[in-house]
Amino acid sequence: MLASAFWQHPLVETAGYFSVVVLCLVVSMVLFEVVTKYKNWEEIKKGNVAVALATGGKILGVCNIFRYSIERHTSLIEMLGWGLYGFSLLIFAYFLFEFLTPLIKVDEEIANDNRSVGFISCTISVGLSFVIGASIS
């Protein structure tokens, strides 16, 4: 009974959710690194603001999706499952953005520090994370 009370303590639950979400965030950033044609962290180190905007939007989007998932689900497994599902929708949205803008090669523009495209990419990630998060049941 004492062990059960320990795991249900708000400080322990918060640390658990935080740890799992940080791990998921690291994995999601690795996956985004794989699907983009540029190297996120190398470009950011060089001062590429467009990449920083796009990457920041992805980070905010992923964290926002997990925020909704934590709020709506009582078990760590449910939270993780719905959060990962929401993240997969965010990746799909990234490919959709590239597909729906055939006159703009999004990855190339972001790699070339086109801040307008980086900003739009950021707002798409953050904006859709609210829609995805609200629809997580």
pLDDT in tens, 31-43: 989 988 899 999 9
pLDDT per residue as tens digits for the range 53-88: 999 999 999 999 999 999 998 788 898 999 999 999
From residue 104, alpha-carbon distances to 37, 47, 78, 122 in Å are 14, 22, 38, 16
75, 93, 81, 76: which is closest to 129 by C-alpha?
93
- What three-state secondary structure class fits 100? helix
Q: Look up the pTM and report it.
A: 0.87
